[in-house]
């Protein structure tokens, strides 16, 4: 198909023109010639299964040069159907050469390879050293055509994975700095911070592509077939300057090895990838179908669609639904050439492969806006028309459903992600809480030790003990005993709290964990209330510990003061017994150790007695809790 014979003016000069003139053939299954080319390539099977000619791939999937019949589904018609023996040069000539020619002449052009994993997308785009694919052949062709006196060539190579852009020529650059924007200079959507390298030779360009491929493959070794879960886009920019006016114009050839179109697996990461891929492929399919309809004269003006994002029928053109379609927005206009190569493997024995192959053909059919001819031949033209109309309605409903499914899948995946994070957060909080609780237990044990110490002190201050004069003994003992009682009460209270938190803790942890694991898409309110409960418990535990620390520090000071008071009293008693006159001058008049029920005054009195530095307990809350 020679587009040059149908073109009027290059896209950058006259955007409103389309590149095709169609003569419609209403036979179902026959594609209308437009500026969208859709081709299907069949992967060869095992040598014994390979068909000898291009016209029959396998006995059960009969093909001609433009049709393929799928058992129990129907006959699909495209611009080209390549049998398993078609070589890469033949594929290039039919699929890519017209697009390359258009780009050299001043139009934008895009070539897509679409299909499920392992069907030959990369093989078709990159090829092998012995069998170069579309990319190396296109590069050689461009260099053979352009004049370097007026044209400069530059190249960028990126990957879109889970809607994040990765620069394959500069893989270390952070994905979040690679932002898509409308470039006023070129009129294209470009990627900020993406490396774009000017090249002078075929070798330089091919080396950069190989370098980019390595960046893809590195990721591919980590997970199985990650490369098939991303879209790789190689863009070759031709900047032409007019020698008379010095005006420049840029056209771009975009070569896209799309992510595998197969449905995602049960694994959450794979599902997430699948959801993003699905959405972008659906958007791409919708846009290409609109373009196809527009350039066939059956639908919207696609050239205006490229700039307005709605067509003349006010249909929304979903360029912004995915990074891929946004990036290619101006290359997916009515003024650009698009070629879609769908790869299929009719020999794949996997159970889901047949459904995936049919899906690939449906995508291709939609891109070309062709109805699928029902498997059984129809008797009359009227019946054929009715059938085609019915098929169109069914197809439209099927697409609506698929779009809904893709959106639902994305919401589900995002929800599952949020729930996973919430679950991990809960586990972290639980661990923190457990740590705090252990600390609380240690504090309790320390308090118990203090109780023991105080008990010993009481015994030391008992009848006959040295250090406290006999009139003061009962008061001191009563004071310390009261203190001891409060300690004991406090310890009991603490133990009750710990026991209670243990019970609540076990039940909330069990329910939180089980709800998170058993139903990833439900009970969000239950999990948030569990979070709240855990947080409350944690805060009260923290407050408790702080209080205890202060309390303990106070008690330490008090015990030290008591000890100092005790040794002071011993010294004074000893000296008094030696010199009674001196007794009258001792600083402790009346009650030597004035320990009352109030912790502050007892501590302060003891400190005063000892000449120590003990400060009154400042925290009224703690005083309350001690009581
Ligand atoms: N037309 C073909 N002729 C010979 N070999 C082919 C052909 N198509 C594919 N292959 C071989 O099949 C294997 C898978 O092909 P390829 O890697 O191109 O698939 P793919 O669709 O790009 O897969 P993925 O999505 O996983 O990257 C490769 O070993 C490739 O060489």
Helix, strand or coil, per DSSP, at residue 70 = strand
Centre a 10 Å sphere on the Cβ of residue 520 and count the other Cβ atoms it contains.
Answer: 16
Residue with tokens 């799928």: 70
How many Å apart are CA 280 and CA 302, to the nearest integer? 19
| 286-289 contacts at long range (C-beta below 8 A, 24 or more positions apart) | 286/317, 286/318, 286/399, 287/317, 287/318, 287/319, 287/325, 287/332, 288/36, 288/332, 288/338, 288/340, 288/366, 288/367, 289/366, 289/367, 289/369
Atom of ligand 1 lying closest to residue 225 CA: 26
> Which of 332, 331, 333 has the alpha carbon at shortest distance from 238?
331
Q: Return the pLDDT at 541.
A: 63
Q: Return the pLDDT at 349.
A: 76
- C-beta of residue 591 within 8 angstroms of C-beta of residue 475: yes
Tokens found for residue 593: 């150790």
pLDDT, block means (10 residues), the chain with 627 residues: 36 34 36 72 68 46 90 88 94 96 91 91 93 96 92 95 92 89 84 94 95 72 51 95 85 93 66 81 84 60 45 66 90 83 88 84 82 43 58 68 72 78 87 85 83 76 50 60 75 75 57 44 49 66 69 71 68 54 37 38 41 38 37
Nearest CA, atom 14, ligand 1: 118
Atom of ligand 1 lying closest to residue 257 CA: 22
- Dist. CA 36 → ligand 1 center (Å): 24
Q: Return the pLDDT at 408.
A: 76
Atom of ligand 1 lying closest to residue 119 CA: 21
Centre a 10 Å sphere on the Cβ of residue 480 and count the other Cβ atoms it contains.
Answer: 22
How many Å apart are CA 289 and CA 610, to the nearest integer? 95
Q: Return the pLDDT at 571.
A: 67
Helix, strand or coil, per DSSP, at residue 341 = strand
- Dist. CA 10 → ligand 1 center (Å): 35
CATH architecture assignment, domain 46-377: 3-Layer(aba) Sandwich (3.40)
Nearest CA, atom 15, ligand 1: 120
Residue with tokens 């270390």: 172
Q: Return the pLDDT at 303.
A: 41
What residue ranges line ligand 1, CB within 6 angstroms? 43-44, 115, 117-123, 225, 227-228, 260, 343
Element (H, E) at 151: strand 151-161
- Dist. CA 209 → ligand 1 center (Å): 18
Q: Alpha-carbon torsion 326, 330, 335, 337, what sign?
A: negative
- C-beta of residue 530 within 8 angstroms of C-beta of residue 421: no
Query: How do the domains of the chain map onto residue ranges?
Result: 46-377, 418-626
């Amino acid at each position: 198909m020679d587009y040059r014979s149908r073109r009027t003016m290059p896209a950058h000069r006259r955007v409103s023109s389309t590149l095709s003139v169609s003569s419609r053939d209403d036979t179902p299954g026959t594609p209308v010639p437009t500026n969208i080319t859709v081709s299907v390539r069949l992967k060869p099977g095992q040598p014994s299964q390979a068909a000898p000619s291009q016209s029959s791939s396998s006995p059960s999937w009969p093909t001609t040069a433009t049709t393929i019949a799928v058992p129990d589904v129907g006959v699909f018609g495209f611009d080209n159907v390549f049998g398993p023996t078609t070589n890469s040069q033949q594929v290039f000539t039919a699929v890519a050469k017209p697009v390359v020619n258009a780009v050299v002449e001043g139009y934008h052009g895009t070539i897509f390879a679409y299909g499920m994993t392992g069907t030959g997308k990369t093989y078709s785009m990159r090829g092998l050293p012995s069998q170069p694919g579309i990319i190396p052949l296109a590069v050689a062709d461009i260099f053979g055509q352009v004049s370097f006196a007026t044209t400069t060539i530059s190249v960028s190579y990126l990957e879109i994975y889970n809607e994040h852009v990765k620069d394959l020529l500069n893989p270390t650059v952070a994905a979040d700095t690679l932002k898509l924007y409308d470039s006023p200079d070129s009129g294209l959507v470009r990627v900020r911070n993406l490396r774009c390298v000017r090249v002078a030779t075929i070798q330089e360009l091919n080396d950069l592509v190989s370098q980019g491929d390595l960046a893809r493959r590195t990721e591919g070794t980590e997970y199985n077939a990650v490369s098939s879960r991303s879209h790789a886009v190689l863009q070759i920019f031709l900047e032409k300057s007019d020698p008379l006016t010095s005006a420049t114009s840029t056209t771009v050839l975009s070569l896209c090895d799309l992510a595998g179109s197969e449905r995602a697996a049960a694994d959450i990461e794979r599902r997430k990838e699948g959801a993003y891929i699905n959405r972008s492929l659906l958007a791409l399919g919708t846009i290409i179908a609109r373009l196809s309809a527009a350039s066939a004269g059956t639908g919207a003006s696609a050239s205006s669609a490229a700039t307005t994002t709605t067509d003349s029928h006010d249909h929304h053109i979903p360029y912004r639904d995915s990074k891929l379609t946004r990036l290619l927005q101006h290359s997916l206009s009515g003024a650009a050439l698009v070629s879609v190569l769908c790869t299929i493997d009719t020999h794949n024995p996997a159970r889901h492969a047949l459904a995936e192959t049919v899906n690939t053909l449906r995508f291709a059919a939609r891109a070309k806006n062709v109805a699928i001819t029902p498997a059984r031949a129809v008797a009359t033209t009227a019946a054929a028309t009715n059938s085609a109309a019915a098929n169109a309605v069914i197809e439209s409903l099927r697409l609506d459903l698929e779009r809904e499914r893709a959106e639902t899948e994305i919401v589900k995946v995002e929800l599952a992600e949020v729930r996973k994070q919430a679950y991990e957060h809960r586990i972290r909080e639980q661990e923190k809480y457990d740590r705090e609780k252990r600390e609380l237990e240690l504090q309790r044990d320390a308090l118990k030790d203090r109780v023991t110490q105080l008990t010993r002190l009481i015994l030391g201050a008992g009848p006959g003990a040295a250090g406290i004069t006999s009139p003061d003994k009962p008061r001191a003992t009563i004071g310390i005993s009261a203190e001891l009682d409060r300690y004991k009460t406090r310890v009991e209270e603490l133990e009750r709290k710990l026991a209670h938190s243990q019970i609540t803790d076990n039940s909330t942890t069990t329910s939180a964990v089980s709800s998170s694991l058993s139903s990833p898409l439900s009970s969000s309110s239950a999990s948030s209330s569990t979070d709240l409960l855990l947080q409350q418990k944690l805060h009260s535990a923290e407050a408790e510990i702080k209080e205890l620390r202060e309390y303990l520090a106070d008690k330490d000071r008090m015990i030290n003061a008591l000890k100092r008071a005790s040794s002071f009293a011993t010294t004074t008693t000893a000296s008094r017994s030696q010199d009674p006159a001196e007794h009258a001058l001792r600083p402790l008049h009346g009650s030597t150790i004035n320990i009352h029920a109030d912790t502050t005054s007892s501590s302060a009195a003891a400190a005063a007695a000892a000449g120590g530095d003990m400060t009154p307990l400042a925290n009224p809350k703690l005083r309350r809790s001690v009581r």
